[in-house]
């Protein structure tokens, strides 16, 4: 698997079904039947990835929305992207 950076784009899997459940979310990988849960911040990250694709744009928007140290936010975003890629819910480009 390719390591992600803010310079990458993340393409969400067409086989992933996303459901927002009052600010948190569940993603179902249709092929494997695996569920993946997201907290409120992870849900927002997923929504922005879906909207922008480019991780730098996602990061910039999150910086405007949340009061958090940029290095912490970058680490959390890239960790989520890595976990999503491992779960085959998307691909780093």
Give the pLDDT confidence of 32-89 residue by residue, as tens digits: 888 899 999 999 999 999 999 999 999 999 999 999 999 999 999 999 999 999 998 9
Please give the model's pTM, rounded to 2 decimal places. 0.93
CATH architecture assigned to 10-87: Orthogonal Bundle (1.10)
Q: What is the dihedral angle through the alpha carbons of 28, 68, 51, 13, rounded to the nearest 10 degrees?
A: -30
Pick 88 or 9 by higher pLDDT: 9
Structure token pair of residue 4: 């992600």
- pLDDT of residue 2 exceeding 80, the answer is no
Maximum separation of any 2 CA atoms in the chain, in Å = 37
Kindly list the domain boundaries of the chain, sorted by start residue: 10-87
For residues 87 and 1, give the distance between their C-alpha atoms in angstroms, rounded to a whole number: 11
Query: How many Å apart are CA 92 and CA 51, to the nearest integer?
Result: 15
Q: Which of 80, 4, 6, 83 is nearest to 42 (CA)?
A: 80
């Amino acid at each position: 698997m390719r390591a992600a950076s803010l310079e990458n784009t993340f393409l969400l899997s067409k086989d992933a079904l996303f459901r927002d459940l009052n600010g948190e979310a569940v993603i179902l990988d249709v092929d494997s039947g695996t569920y993946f849960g997201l907290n409120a911040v992870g849900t927002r990250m997923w929504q922005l990835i879906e909207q922008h694709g480019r991780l730098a744009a996602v990061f910039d928007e999150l910086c405007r929305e949340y009061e958090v140290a940029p290095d912490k936010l970058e680490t959390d975003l890239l960790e989520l992207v890595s976990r999503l890629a491992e779960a085959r819910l998307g691909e780093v480009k």
